[in-house]
Amino acid sequence: MALPAIEVEGVSKRYSLGSGALNVSLVDRLGDLARVPRRVISGRRAVPQIAVDSHAHEDEEFWALRDVSMRVERGEVLGLIGANGAGKSTLLKLIARITRPDTGTITLNGRVGTLLEVGTGFHPELTGRENAFLSGTILGMRRQEVADNFDEIVDFSGIGEFIDTPVKHYSSGMYVRLAFAVAAFLNPEILAVDEVLAVGDAEFQRRCLGRMQDVVNEGRTIVFVSHNLSAVQRLCPRSAWIHHGRLMAHGPTAEIISKYLRETGPQQYGGSAVLSESVARSGSGPARLSRISLIGGDGEPTDHLALGEPLRIELIFDSPTPLEDAVVELTISSAEGFRIVNAQSVDEYGTTLKLKRGPNEVTVELDLTLLPGEYNLEVALQTLGGLTVDMVERALRFSALNITYQGVQPYLWEEVRGSVRARSTWSMPGSAGMSAKPSFLQN
């Protein structure tokens, strides 16, 4: 019985550039003509993005997936990783049967359940109870199955007596909890999941992950798409990396993620990096991160930091228009892809920034000590309103080395546990204080 749960063989999927449709109505085409002059006048820059400014190439095709083959064994939890637009969501949609491949075959052994969003099929006018039945059935359960699990669904959601209230009166938290509770009782042999875990509070997320673990223990197969490498790492023993529609690697997650981080994009290792338009980035534009530099203690760009060395990052944003209420966010992730440190210009003592037309230099100093290891810098430019203007997930890589900087203690052990050293004070009752340095370091 070595039938795989999913067998993908030579699968390709093609989209037309432009409207996304293979054919567009005459009216649409007239509409396109009317839009051209405006675009010229506004002087909007051509951004190499799909389905935005590509009306001029309407007949051109775009291969979202190209000749992908892989096997997912029964009981396997597979993470699909890759940059935005790499094709991982397309692959998930093919497995979920939402869309069909143009070539190749996908063989599914078992019922497939799909979780691409929270609350699929929810209608605001219906009560929680009605929505639980509707959504559960849309996701592939029988009405009887929802009825059998109904008490547990209500328990899991914590909705209580509000179950007979229309969901339009729910808080967004309640809505998400109910939606997830329904999904948690899906019982297909194969589950296709897309980032939906990114919602809900931490406690609820933990329960959802726990529930997903149960599903795995029951021997079911999960395919999980996420940008969140930490989540992939936690959930998926194995991963596949998709890049420009092709399967680059498929294997144990730790291996795949470090390969992915090492090999993708023009990401530069340390120093000062110029980030062209073609860098893997997302966001509405038009302001762009054009340069990032890691500055060491001596004020020069560097690719490594000593233990305790001050960490300064200089960013240059090019903006063709002024931008009010900008929020710059810097995230440091470990080599394994865990996001470990986050700093934003609106944190505690910070403020929103005003970008002027042209290049804007933004400098940030972080007060922290990174333990030895490899790290990645992620930069996001957002507005206070929540719009992501530009986001570069892998802007710069650098290492923290186990060499001391101006008398800071070195890291003593071979195995590094954790990523960030906390500033700590130690004491013992009845003692005058502890020795500042281990005896073997005292000179």
Partner 1 sequence: MEAANAKPDEAAQTRVITAATGFELPSARDLWNSRDLIYLLMRRDVAIRYKQTVIGAAWAILQPLLFALVFSLFFGRYARIPSGADVPYPVFALSGMVMWLYISTSLQRISESTVGNSQLITKVYFPRAIIPLSASAQPLVDFVVAFSIVIPVTLLYGVTPSPRILLLPALLLLAWLVVIGAGLWFSALNVRYRDITFLVPFMILVGLFMAPIVYPFDLVPSAFQPIYALNPAVGILETYRWLLFTGASGPGLLLLSPVIAAPVLLVSGAWYFQRAERDFADVI
Binding site for partner 1 (CB under 8 A): 3, 15, 20-23, 25, 27, 93-94, 96-112, 114, 116-117, 120-121, 123, 125-126, 130, 133-134, 137-143, 145, 148-149, 152, 185, 187-189, 214
CA-to-CA distance for 310 and 370, rounded, in angstroms?
10
Query: Measured from the CB atom, is 189 or 336 closer to partner 1?
Result: 189
CA-to-CA distance for 354 and 345, rounded, in angstroms?
11
Query: Measured from the CB atom, is 27 or 412 closer to partner 1?
Result: 27
CA-to-CA distance for 182 and 220, rounded, in angstroms?
17
Q: Least distance from C-beta 67 to partner 1, angstroms?
A: 13
Q: Are 169 and 128 in contact (CB under 8 A)?
A: no
Q: Least distance from C-beta 52 to partner 1, angstroms?
A: 17
Q: Are 364 and 330 in contact (CB under 8 A)?
A: yes
Q: Least distance from C-beta 440 to partner 1, angstroms?
A: 55
Query: Measured from the CB atom, is 101 or 200 closer to partner 1?
Result: 101
Q: Are 41 and 146 in contact (CB under 8 A)?
A: no
Q: Least distance from C-beta 79 to partner 1, angstroms?
A: 20
Residue 334 tokens read as 């470990």
Which of 322, 405, 386, 414 minimizes the C-alpha distance to 360? 322
Query: Measured from the CB atom, is 164 or 214 closer to partner 1?
Result: 214
Which of 61, 173, 182, 192 minimizes the C-alpha distance to 115? 192
Q: Least distance from C-beta 371 to partner 1, angstroms?
A: 40
- Rg of the chain over all Cα atoms, to the nearest angstrom: 25
CA-to-CA distance for 219 and 191, rounded, in angstroms?
11
Q: Least distance from C-beta 130 to partner 1, angstroms?
A: 7
Query: Measured from the CB atom, is 109 or 205 closer to partner 1?
Result: 109
Query: Measured from the CB atom, is 192 or 306 closer to partner 1?
Result: 192
Q: Least distance from C-beta 97 to partner 1, angstroms?
A: 4
Query: Measured from the CB atom, is 80 or 391 closer to partner 1?
Result: 80
Which of 312, 339, 352 minimizes the C-alpha distance to 228? 339
Which residue(s) pair with 295 in the sheet? 301, 312
Residue 401 tokens read as 């080395």
